[in-house]
Amino acid sequence: MFCNQCEQTTRGDVCHQWGACGKSPEVDALQDLLVHCLRGLSQIALQAKSLGINTRDTDEFTCEMLFSTLTNVNFTTSDFIAFVNRAIALRDSLKLKIQALGNKVVVSNINTFQPASSLTDQIQQGKDLEFEFISQSANNVDIFSLKLTVLYGLKGLAAYAFHALELNQHDEGLYTFCHEVLADLDNQDKTLQDWLNLALKIGEINLTAMQLLDAGNTETFGHPTPTPVKLGHIKGKAILVSGHDLLALKAILEATAGTEIKVYTHGELLPAHGYPKLKQQYPHLYGHYGTAWQNQTHEFEKFPGAIAMTTNCLVPPHETYKNKVFTLGPVGYPGLQHLSISDVSPIINKALELPGFTDEENKGIVTTGFARNAVLGVADTVIDAVKSGDIKHFFLVGGCDGAKPGRNYYSELVEQVPNDCIVLTLGCGKFRFFDKQLGDIGGIPRLLDVGQCNDAYSVIQIAVALANAFEVGVNELPLSMIISWYEQKAIAVLLTLLYLGIKNIRIGPTLPAFLSANLVKLLSETYHLQLITTPEKDLAECLS
């Protein structure tokens, strides 16, 4: 196998034998086979679109399938076989529609590909395709690096687009772009500059995806407002909802309304508490339990109720608690029951069967809900505080968490940020410092939780509004971005920030393994993108 799409890739290089995430070589091969089938489907979808044929099913399927290949999303062999078959069925049905309009289908090796009939042969096909993809690029390591950047960035973009389309937010141009990228992924004529431009274009279209998701979330659930969230628990039956999907959380809240069950958020669903239409309508959305994704094995083990995993990041569950975990949406794991949000009753039955909490514990509160509307609602106060010198600097310390020890950097940095600075955060990286009491500056909290990693759009809007208020560019603001990355959504966000021309971003805990030395050099020369060093050194440089 060959996979280096995430930060925990083996020895910081590539997973060859088995995924450090728990992905088997078989699933890896089937994911590659699926991506190959999607490439053929995209070629046909583009022709169908050019003839005015409705391809919405294919568009949505393509986004969901790319999402299913993200790190820590789906580990189930049989799911990928079904996905491959569905890709071929959609492709062939579009071909028929093209022919029915009196047109000849444009033929290529990719769009006439047939998956083998047995599992063993399909796995071999996936391995062969992977080998072909790697060897096509063997003579140019920098182009290969950019191709991987494009593919992984596209996966992140597709994940955002999938969240958005679940909330009825669509963009035809975005879908066409995704198909164009997939359809042309093996283009041998593209130059290094072409691939670089395409990577930045992914960043541009990802901004559209994040904007759509922001619109979907805020139109459906209202604009988040600052909200205290309880960290303890209360006696009684319990359900824990993890991942990023607000719609799935809503379905569980709806189904448990009026019952004795209390619903707790886990990981990236903490910011859900800030949305008016969730917190006001469902008082049994009790509080938040646990921290970031990589701690879930011991946190899930101890949770005395049912658990729903709505999106990444699922860690292979232990046998001891497997029977109380359910998957929804693009998530899958062998032996875990997969549900649709239209019927979440098995989760409720499981919660009723389990003991629930037998005591009450108060572990304090944290505040979330400082998304763009809330922060920009007090923009005048913020601007005055900057002008008067009360606020010297803003730090965005955001992104993903992970298991590597080097990630202590982020908590140490936040602890050392001077008292006249504000820390904006988002993503699951915040769990390293989310309960720190940093006080306030003239009533403005010094630690502002903007939301999930999916809310990066909110941070961009805050930065742009501040830049406009001070009549400078974002790069001239007293703002430093210190990002932690883990998986492909973070790659898409990074490409968006680069597309927007944002410089001096610090990234860690390591650089992506798929970036070649020349690409790192180019990004550092053009964008001053740099690897984190020590909290002391980086803070001193940011404040100098």
Paired tokens of 514: 């798929």
Burial class, 514, CB count within 10 angstroms (exposed 0-12 / middle 13-18 / buried 19+): buried
Residue 313 contacts ligand FSO per CB under 6 A: yes
Phi-psi region of 92 (alpha: psi -120 to 50; beta: other; left: phi over 0): alpha
C-alpha dist (Å) from residue 255 to 63, 287, 454: 28, 17, 25
Give which of ligand SF4, ligand FSO, none residue 6 binds (C-beta under 5 to 8 Å, depending on kind). ligand SF4
Residue 290 contacts ligand FSO per CB under 6 A: no
Of 115 and 203, CB closest to ligand FSO: 203
* Binding-site positions: 3, 6, 15, 21, 244, 268, 313, 400, 428, 453, 487, 489
DSSP 268-306: GGGGGGG-HHHHTT-TTEEEE----GGGHHHHHHH--SE
Residue 68 contacts ligand SF4 per CB under 6 A: no
List residues bridging with 242 in a β-sheet.
309
Of 83 and 293, CB closest to ligand FSO: 293
Give which of ligand FSO, ligand SF4, none residue 489 binds (C-beta under 5 to 8 Å, depending on kind). ligand FSO
Of 35 and 502, CB closest to ligand SF4: 35
β-bridge pairing 440-441 and 444-445: antiparallel
Give, as ranges, the residues between 259 and 288 that touch ligand FSO (CB under 6 A): 267-268
Three-state DSSP at 485 gives: coil
Q: What is the dihedral of CA 307, 167, 333, 12, to 10 degrees?
A: -100
Question: Segment near ligand FSO (CB under 6 A), from 101-109, 214-222, 456-464, 486-494?
Answer: 486-494
Cα–Cα dist 286/272, whole Å: 11
Tell me phi and psi for residue 273, to 5 degrees: -65, -20
Give, as ranges, the residues between 395 and 454 that touch ligand FSO (CB under 6 A): 400, 427-428, 452-453
Distance of CA 339 to the CA centre of its chain: 21
Cα–Cα dist 173/244, whole Å: 25
- Minimal distance, residue 484 CB to ligand FSO, in Å: 9
Cα–Cα dist 48/56, whole Å: 11
Give which of ligand FSO, ligand SF4, none residue 267 binds (C-beta under 5 to 8 Å, depending on kind). ligand FSO
Give, as ranges, the residues between 239 and 258 that touch ligand FSO (CB under 6 A): 244
- Minimal distance, residue 337 CB to ligand SF4, in Å: 23
Q: What is the total count of residues that contact ligand SF4 (CB under 6 A)?
A: 12
Q: Is the CB of residue 401 less than 8 Å from the CB of residue 431?
A: yes
Give, as ranges, the residues between 3 and 62 that touch ligand SF4 (CB under 6 A): 3-6, 8-9, 15, 19-21, 23
Residue 312 contacts ligand FSO per CB under 6 A: yes
Residue 175 contacts ligand FSO per CB under 6 A: no
- Minimal distance, residue 263 CB to ligand SF4, in Å: 30
Give which of ligand FSO, ligand SF4, none residue 23 binds (C-beta under 5 to 8 Å, depending on kind). ligand SF4
For 114-198, strand residue ranges (E) read none
Give which of ligand FSO, ligand SF4, none residue 428 binds (C-beta under 5 to 8 Å, depending on kind). ligand FSO
Q: What share of residues in the chain are helix, strand, coil (percent, to 5)?
A: 50, 15, 35
Give, as ranges, the residues between 145 and 174 that touch ligand FSO (CB under 6 A): none
Residues that bind ligand SF4 (CB under 6 A): 3-6, 8-9, 15, 19-21, 23, 71
Residues that bind ligand FSO (CB under 6 A): 244, 267-268, 293, 312-313, 400, 427-428, 452-453, 486-487, 489-490
